[in-house]
Amino acid sequence: MTASGTPASTGPASVPHLDVDPFDMRFFADPYPAHQRLREAGPVVYLDKWNVYGVARYAEVHAVLNDPATFCSSRGVGLSDFKKETPWRPPSLILEADPPAHTRTRAVLSKVLSPTAMKQVRDRFAAAAEERVDALLDKRSFDAIADLAEAYPLSIFPDALGLKPEGREHLIPYASVVFNAFGPPNELRQQAIARSAPHQAYVAEQCQRDNLAPGGFGACIHARVDDGEITATEAPLLVRSLLSAGLDTTVNGIGAAVYCLARFPDQWQRLRDDPTLARNAFEEAVRFESPVQTFFRTTTREVELSGATIGEGEKVLMFLAAANRDPRRWDRPDSYDITRRTSGHVGFGSGIHMCVGQLVARLEGEVMLTALARRVAKIEITGEPKRRFNNTLRGLDSLPVTITPA
């Protein structure tokens, strides 16, 4: 049956068919009513617009994420099936890989971004957050996206990677292409790829060993070549993963947190009263806004999922954001609550592919929210927030605010 109650004319008959396009501007503008329709229609749905299965309830999203043998990543985690179409860039050796290939590359990045590595950068990240907040207190009125959510990660992450100063303006545009490219062949994806050449050239060059400063995350990846964990051909591609996934994600995560704290003054007050809540306030913002909204998997065999039979070679779209607000899993799912038990949210994914950079993201979020809580009394939204449209990322283009010193 379609959402309007008429029988489906094509596609699988056993699951509800919906006509929602989750990559349409109207969907991006307000995804929440559509997320509810997707969850309520059934545990597994079929989206006629793109001929894919969809899961929007927490249980099924979690189940798909935790069965990587059946729901694979090596055929791409976007709509494009790498078995049928040539990828727009060489596949990622970690994101777009399955065990056993994935296991080795994952281990490398996991070590490079380990708790020990975080200890080395923590003081620098915290000092830079305090500096950024001081600069913003001098301005009082500013754009919380450009001047905070982008400026802060740009002030630390490229240095932590070991990138040279020139050309960094390519980093966010490159990531924007990466995240648009996971979507269907709509205007956003086609335009992004069409304009990607200069950004791709920059990234490819910076991934080379000679262009990465000693001691940085990039050099640490290349160092694994010397002890034989990865080949010299693999190392630049793993650096590319950090350039692809390490900046725009935290920009939108920090942007989400500031947007939440500006909109919900009672939660801002709780954070001010107890700045040790900063890390959970950031985590809850990742659940509440889900900067990474969706990902696909591809079935490696016929599989039954919550009563639905899905054939081999089918794309399954996971609505991470809808799972993160599924009332079957969460109390008051639509409330931003900085003291909530956030564990189990799928904003960083789940299972073997769960965000390998999550400690970097949490560190950035924690030190920035701590600096704000200690130094700022009030955050007021002073103009219309403008949305940024991307096939995968949810976030704002601008958020005019005025802050008051503590």
Which among 58, 84, 92 is positioned nearest to 240, based on CA atoms? 92
Q: Decide whether 17 or 75 has the Cβ nearer to ligand 8QM.
A: 75
Q: How many CB atoms lie within 10 A of CB 397?
A: 13
User: How many chain residues interact with ligand 8QM (CB under 6 A)?
Assistant: 9
Q: Determine if 178 is a binding residue for ligand 8QM (CB under 6 A).
A: yes
Query: Closest separation between CB of residue 251 and ligand 8QM, Å?
Result: 12
Cα distances (angstroms) measured from residue 63 to each of 43, 44, 179:
11, 12, 23
Q: Decide whether 177 or 369 has the Cβ nearer to ligand 8QM.
A: 177
User: What is the rounded radius of gyration, in angstroms, for the C-alpha atoms of the chain?
Assistant: 21
- Which string of x and - marks every residue 136-155 that binds ligand 8QM (by CB under 6 A)? --------------------
Options 154-162, 163-171, 244-252, 255-263: segment touching ligand 8QM (CB under 6 A): 244-252
Q: Give one DSSP letter per residue of 241-281, joined into a string.
A: HHHHHSSHHHHHHHHHHHHHHHH-HHHHHHHHH-GGGHHHH
C-alpha torsion 49→53→54→58, nearest 10: 180
Query: Closest separation between CB of residue 38 and ligand 8QM, Å?
Result: 21
Residue type, 218: G
Which among 293, 320, 284 is positioned nearest to 387, based on CA atoms? 293
Q: Decide whether 239 or 379 has the Cβ nearer to ligand 8QM.
A: 239
Q: Decide whether 132 or 362 has the Cβ nearer to ligand 8QM.
A: 362
Q: Decide whether 80 or 244 has the Cβ nearer to ligand 8QM.
A: 244
Residue ranges in 257-296 that form contacts with ligand 8QM under rule CB under 6 A: 292
Element (H, E) at 189: helix 187-194
Gap between the Cα atoms of 168 and 166, Å rounded = 6
Q: Determine if 241 is a binding residue for ligand 8QM (CB under 6 A).
A: yes
Q: Decide whether 17 or 362 has the Cβ nearer to ligand 8QM.
A: 362
Binding site for ligand 8QM (CB under 6 A): 92, 94-95, 178, 241, 244-245, 249, 292
